[in-house]
Structure 1
Amino acid sequence: MQSPSNAEALPAQRRRWGQWYAPEDTPEERKLVLKLDLLIVPYAFVLYWIKYIDQTNINNAYASGMSADLNFHGNQLVQFQTIFYVANVIGILPFIYLFPRVPMHILVPTLDLGWGIFTLLQYRAQSYGEIMVYRFFVSLFEASYFPGVHFVLGSWYRSDEIGRRGGTFYAGLTLGTLTASLLQAAASTYLDGRDGLAGWRWLFIINAIITMPMALVGYFVWPGTPERPNRLVMKQHELDLARSRLERHGAALQRTPFSMPLIRRIFSSWKFWVLVFWDMLFFNTSANSAAFILWIESLGRYNTATMNQLAAISPALGILFVLGINYATDLWVSRPTAITIASVFNFSALVILSVWEVPEAAKWFAFSVTYSAVAVSSVLYGWANSILKESNEERALTLTIMTAVGTATNAFVPNFVYPTVEAPRYPKGYVYSAVMVVCMVVVTWIVNLLFGPNGDKRRRIETVEDLALPSSQSDLADSEKPIASKANTSSKIEPISTS
């Protein structure tokens, strides 16, 4: 077992507004952090922006002529969303094993190329079935991107640094949704009928032109992880410094062999199930992504271009929510407080939409602030990274399963609570999402009680649990033990649970 001095990671100091680096960071560390910021954050942001253009363009295309051109009817829009989520779940599972083993600077850009190709193919669709096939493969290639970026962020940044980087990356989601609306508005205005193609078909072509070149950039700028770095951009002394600064704060950088005993131990841990359940609740706190534009369409007073421009209001405000909440977690408030603040806005909007018989101005307000829900994501995943920082394999498996389970619920729940035929009223959907918000906030404070806002409390709990284990349990086979980090070489016995 670790001695008390080694069991505790160095505490992160909360800093003042505008203080980008921690007071204890050396000049060399600040240079390294700046370099990582320039390599990781802009590329992650741009690619997530592109991903969400490619994901949400179906809503804009549907409302901008695709439905009429291809004779869609009934719940086919929500079925497009369902097949997307099903493919996400299928596509994400192999990366439980691949994240710690395949260089991320190879994996991420290659998958980006795949989803770019199938985004392009959607422009030629002539039927519901053809669109379904293309949406499946777009999602299959996109599936691992979100947990993959969080795996990379958790591999380089401390718990007091990850919030701002995760928030900046996640702002790409809201910008992607906003841009999809504006791109469709431009395509409908300037390209509709050009070369015999409808404006909604041009949207898919434009999206693909944006997507595929960025994949090539990733091979040269994405730094990978400290264990499997991109040697084109990372020097050996930078890797040594990155490892040492994380080890001082309790992170594991050595690989634990991925064995069945390790997997059984992770799946039998109550910590794993708490995090998975918590994230599943989060995935169900948002209103249907097409609700706003379908409500604007139902008003019957705007043309296609104006309708898409107005639909950009919500994601535009979402950028402010995402950046404000995530920067606040590093600089001002604790993680549970930040999640609660964002959830208050989301809950208020959902209550208004649940009542429905309210002044039109109230509906404009409610739809406009629904993107406060997504501001929670990077706070939650950054927190999970901190809780799981002692084992790369456990971190990869847990982050991936969290995303897979949350996505799986999105694959079938909307068919019951957000059916297309009930749009935009959704009498069951808004109530359901509001209940999920309350449940998520309650579990958030339970997580805070169990693990602490920086994930350090659980280290003390597990150390006490190790003392109570009989020697036969603590004397694991070498294949089940994590390799001791440099910071813990004075320990005589490794703890059983390395989270």
Structure 2
Amino acid sequence: MTATDAYPEAKRKWYQIQWFQPTDTPRERKLINKLDLLIVPYAFLAYWVKYMDQSNLNNAYVAGMKEDLNFQGNQLVQLQTMYIVGAVVGQIPFMFLFTYVPMHWVIPFLDVAWGVFTLLQYRVTGFPELAAYRFLVGWFEAAFFPAMHYIFGAWYRSDEIARRGGVFYLGLTLGTLTAGLIQAGASERLEGVNGLAGWRWMYIICALITIPVGILGYFVLPGTPDRPNRMLLSQEDVDVAKERLTRAGHVTEGRITFKGIAKIGKSWHFWSLILFDILFWNGSINATTGGYLLWLKSLKKFTPAQVNNLGTIAPALGMFYTLFICFASDLVLGPAWAITVAHVWNIIGLIIQVIWEVPEGALWFSFMTSYSALAMSSVLYGWVNSQLRASPADRAFTLVLINTIAQSTTAWTPLLVFKTVEGPRFTKGYSFVLGNAVCLIIMSHILRVYLARKE
């Protein structure tokens, strides 16, 4: 469903694009602005610190952690896997909270908790301790991403989600970028201060940013229409929200039950969305496995600080990719074609990386395309939100389960195709990602045709 499918009377040319639909009343526009100011900035901030705390391992590894802790062989990818295992296992128990506990309690708690375990990483003395902390960071970060998309789907129509989700998703690229800058600064200015290595200071700094952002969530997140944050929203706000969503075919109340889960599990649509998400996760791991940083280090031209500074270029470009793809999806292209554009660009870079024996400039270019693979994440999850707008319980269960199952596959696929000892030339890895990206494009159009016929 494209942005205009839900409101055929409001179809516009691309040059007539507006933030609101013509059908939105002045009161609804006021509410939308209020929700945008409450949800979107916090979602962006929280995802920024989440991804900063998730990706800082790669920056620490190339900035002295490897040597200080005497890491050997594939221990980097094993640590990445421990995070993923925690992130997968943690999603299931938190899933049941979505429709029972106010979301403006759940999300800040998760944020503060993973901030604490980010802080504790500064004191690690070996691989086992760090692996435990990475697992716990993953555990508490687990439900954040589907939880935020659940909130988006609770307040916004299907034609409004992707561009808000796009701003939210900027936090991923900014988090990766910031982790690199913090590590570069720590390596240059804090190395040896109070007897701590620069990479240890990075974890302290990241935690000092994360924990206050978590606390802020208690005061700015509006919850959901069925469990709103009464400090922020009046009853009139909630009533207007429910009315506009009901008019668009959304249901605003419902709880996860085991009977409902059994019903969802019998649906082929649910399993097709799982496959869709698996292809996305495995079609984008080239951006998160550290290949770019390892390649920069292998050139032996740059200091650790320079490696981390240069490592911020790709995620910085990812911010542009994300905004372009998500806004284009909502306002011009629709989900399937937005996904296609994002992954065609990713595929170009992957082909170069598979070939590898190319001029150095071509490899620079290829790594600059990688974050386009992640740019369409909010398009995908916004599309899922739209398809399941008739049931909050189905949305909550499906958003978490597809994310859990898809992410769980990336706990073992990098161990097979992105072995640290094979880097930075991950021929198997880049070939694997390339295949997934092609299949993702094909499946997005299969879904597009199916949904068009169903409508």
TM-score range, shorter chain: over 0.9
How far the C-alpha of 1:215 sits from its partner, in A, is 1.2
Q: Identity of paired residues, percent?
A: 50
> Which structure 2 residues correspond to residues 328-339 of structure 1 after superposition, within 5 A?
328-339=328-339
Amino acid at match of 1:208: A
Distance in 1 separating the partners of 2:298 and 2:251? 53
In the TM superposition, residue 329 of structure 1 has moved relative to its aligned partner by 1.1
Shift in Å, 1:433: 0.2
CA distance in 2, matches of 1:182, 1:9: 42
| CA shift for structure 1 position 259 | 3.3
The equivalent residue for 1:158 is: 157
Paired with 1:12 and 1:358, the residues of 2 have a C-alpha distance of: 51
Which SS does the other structure have where 1:93 is aligned? helix
Are the structure 2 counterparts of residues 434 and 225 from structure 1 closer, same or farther at C-alpha, using a change threshold of 3 Å?
same
- 2:333 is paired with a residue whose SS is coil
Instruction: Specify the alignment match of 1:395 in structure 2.
Output: 395
What amino acid does structure 2 have at the position aligned with 1:428? K
| Aligned equivalents of 1:331, 1:187: Cα separation in 2 | 42
1:281 is aligned to: 279
Post-superposition offset of 1:214? 1.0
Work out the CA distance in 1 between the residues paired with 2:8 and 2:141.
36
Q: Does 1:97 align with 2:96?
A: yes
User: What corresponds to 1:13 in structure 2?
Assistant: 10
Instruction: Give the SS at the match of 2:199.
Output: helix
- In 1, the alpha carbon distance for the partners of 2:31 and 2:257 equals 34
CA distance in 2, matches of 1:10, 1:97: 33
Larger mean CA deviation between 110-119 and 281-290 belongs to: 281-290
> 1:316 is aligned with what amino acid?
A
Partner of 1:466: none
Once the two structures are TM-superposed, the CA of residue 12 in structure 1 deviates from its matched residue by 7.6
Deviation (angstroms), 1:10:
5.2
Q: CA deviation at 1:435?
A: 0.3
Query: AA paired with 1:310?
Result: L
Separation of aligned partners in 1, 2:9 and 2:157: 8
CA displacement, residues 347-388 of structure 1 (integer Å, 9 cap, x when unaligned): 000000000000100000000110000012100000000000
Within 5 Å, give how 1:438-449 maps onto structure 2: 438-449=438-449
Letter in 2 for 1:279: D
The separation in 2 between residues aligned to 1:259 and 1:166, in whole angstroms, is 27
Matches within 5 A, 1:98-247: 98-247=97-246
2:293 maps to amino acid: I
Are the aligned partners of 1:44 and 1:169 in contact in 2 as well (CA < 8 Å)? yes
Report the equivalent of 1:294.
294
Tell me, what secondary structure is at the counterpart of 1:46?
Answer: helix
Offset from partner CA, 1:217-236 (integer Å, 9 cap, x none): 11011000001100000100
Equivalent of 1:266 in 256, 264, 267:
264
Q: 1:144 to 1:11 in 2, by over 3 A?
A: farther
- What residue number does 2:350 align with? 350
Is this contact kept in 1: 2:417–2:432, CA < 8 A? yes
Amino acid at match of 2:150: F
- Aligned counterparts, 1:25-40, within 5 A: 25-40=24-39
Give secondary structure in 2 for the equivalent of 1:98: coil
Q: Distance in 2 between matches of 1:88 and 1:58?
A: 15
Distance 1:22 1:9, change over 3 A: closer
Which position in structure 1 is the counterpart of 2:427? 427
Q: Note the alpha carbon deviations across 1:55-76, whole angstroms, 9 max, x for none.
A: 0000000000000000001000
Q: How does 1:53-64 map to 2 (within 5 A)?
A: 53-64=52-63
Within-5 A mapping of 1:338-377: 338-377=338-377
Q: Cα–Cα, structure 1 residues 366 and 222, in superposed 2: closer, same or farther, change >3 Å?
A: same
- Contact preservation (8 Å) 1:84, 1:139: yes
One-letter amino acid of the counterpart of residue 396, structure 1: A
1:54-107: CA deviation from partner (whole Å, max 9, x where unpaired)? 000000000000000000010000001101111111100113321111100000
Measured in 2, the distance between the counterparts of 1:387 and 1:140 equals 28
- The separation in 2 between residues aligned to 1:10 and 1:325, in whole angstroms, is 21
Q: Decide whether the 8 Å contact of 1:14 with 1:332 is kept in 2.
A: no
Aligned-partner Cα distance in 1 for 2:95–2:143? 9
Distance 2:208 2:252 in 1: 38
Cα separation, 1, equivalents of 2:6 and 2:440: 28
- C-alpha spacing 1:12/1:310, structure 2 compared with 1 (3 Å): farther
Offset of 1:26 from its aligned partner? 0.8
Task: Determine the structure 2 residue equivalent to 1:476.
Answer: none
**Aligned partner letter, 2:305:** A
The answer to which of 121-130 and 90-99 deviates more is: 90-99
What is aligned with 1:468?
A: none
Partner of 1:316: 316
Normalising by structure 2, we get a TM-score of 0.96
Unaligned runs of 5+ in 2: none
Distance apart, 1:139 and its partner CA: 0.6
Q: Does the 8 Å contact 1:120/1:205 carry over to 2?
A: yes
Q: Which AA in structure 1 matches 2:410?
A: N
Paired residues in the alignment total: 447
**Aligned mates of 2:241, 2:34 — CA distance in 1:** 11
Equivalent in the alignment of 2:77:
78
Gaps of 5+ in 1: 1-7, 461-499
Asked if 1 retains the 8 angstrom alpha-carbon contact of 2:354 and 2:430, the reply is yes
CA contact (8 A) 2:6 2:159 kept: no
Post-superposition shift, 1:9?
6.5
Q: For 2:228, what is the secondary structure of its paired residue? A: coil
Aligned partners of 1:98, 1:11: CA distance in 2, in Å?
36
Residues in 1 aligned to 2:282 and 2:416: alpha-carbon distance in whole angstroms: 13
Give the AA of the match of 2:195. Answer: G
**Other structure's SS at 1:94 match:** helix
1:432-471 superposed matches below 5 A: 432-452=432-452, 458=454, 460=455
Q: Distance in 2 between matches of 1:13 and 1:401?
A: 34
Larger Rg: 1
Show structure 1 runs of 4+ deviating over 3 A.
8-18
Task: Label 1:32 to 1:358 Cα distance change in 2 as closer, same or farther (>3 A).
Answer: same
Q: Which amino acid aligns with 2:112?
A: L
**Which stretch of structure 1 is more off in the superposition, 125-134 or 9-18?**
9-18
The answer to whether the 8 A contact 1:294-1:423 is kept is yes
Between the aligned partners of 1:274 and 1:307, the Cα distance in structure 2 is: 40
Shift of 1:122: 0.1
Question: In 2 relative to 1, CA 332–193 (structure 1 residues): closer, same or farther, beyond 3 Å?
Answer: same
